[in-house]
Amino acid sequence: MFAGLISFSALVGYWALTGGRWYVVQTPSMGQAAPVGTLLWVKPVSYGSIHVGEIITFHPPGTHETYSHRVVRINSDGSLSTRGDINLAGDPWKLRAPNIEGAVAMRWWGVGWVIEAAPLLVVGGIALWILVSWFTRPRWKAPAAMVGIAVILSLSIVIYRPLVRADLLSFVPHRHGGEATYVSTGLLPTKLSAPGNGHINLRDGQVGSILSTHPIHHDVYVVHLDPRLRWWWWLVMVLVCFAPALGTVLIGRSRQEGDGPMAAGASARAIPV
């Protein structure tokens, strides 16, 4: 573990020294190529080396916003045209060298969610360490740490909602309802269902459409969003949920076994001869 931490720190240092940057994907325009929550490793490149099909990070002319889209055309005037993978139309701008931040060299799925939650995780971790180290009796330190970690992680999931999400892209009215098109933006496989019209299954970054024909009110239609997990996913989640309790039991048992002979010896020495 220590060797892995050293290697990762060296990679981060090298990337920064060579001008590399990191960006967290905030919108679903790149679909499955770079879903929401993906960490992008962006490296500086020469303008002439950029080719069609490459994902680049850039600032559109006249703005300071940052986009990461795919190059779809190199125009006759040398400018670049881009488009998000799930967007029907290309971007309205043409890019030149000053607009380019770099090319996407690596895409780390889901890591961006950890970075988004980092302030809560760090502050919560420091507060938990102070609470356990200074205000908790020795025998309760391990259980308190286990429960505290579980609470911090649960709060992060509730606040940032990285697991099950979907964004509505469009709603097209039909005679008896409407066709809703969604893109999944959560880490877990997702099931979208409409009453009386079955369901569709989406993976992170995948786009799908479903017909809704049963309004709950006048011209108000509903689509249900649920996780679609196989049995082993549920098993993993149950084990994760019970990990704090199981860890506390195991730590408590190991301490009891370790303290047993010493306690017995102390009692024996206390008996007068």
Say if pTM beats, i.e. exceeds, 0.95: no
DSSP assignment of 196-245 equals TS-EEEE-TT-EEEEEE--EEETTEE--EEEE---HHHHHHHHHHHHHHH
CA distance readout (Å), 56 to 18, 246, 257: 17, 46, 58
pLDDT tens-digit series, residues 74-90: 999 999 999 999 999 99
Among residues of the chain, what percentage have pLDDT more than 90? 55
* Contact in structure between 201 and 228 (CB atoms under 8 Å): yes
Parse the chain into domains and list their residue ranges: 19-111, 118-161, 166-231
Element (H, E) at 207: strand 207-212
Q: What is the pLDDT of residue 254?
A: 58
How would residue 265 be classed by pLDDT, with cut points 50, 70 and 90?
very low
From the candidate CATH numbers 3.30.70.100, 3.40.50.300, 2.10.109.10, 2.40.30.40, the one assigned to the domain spanning 19-111:
2.10.109.10
pLDDT tens-digit series, residues 182-223: 999 999 999 999 877 888 999 999 999 998 877 767 667 788
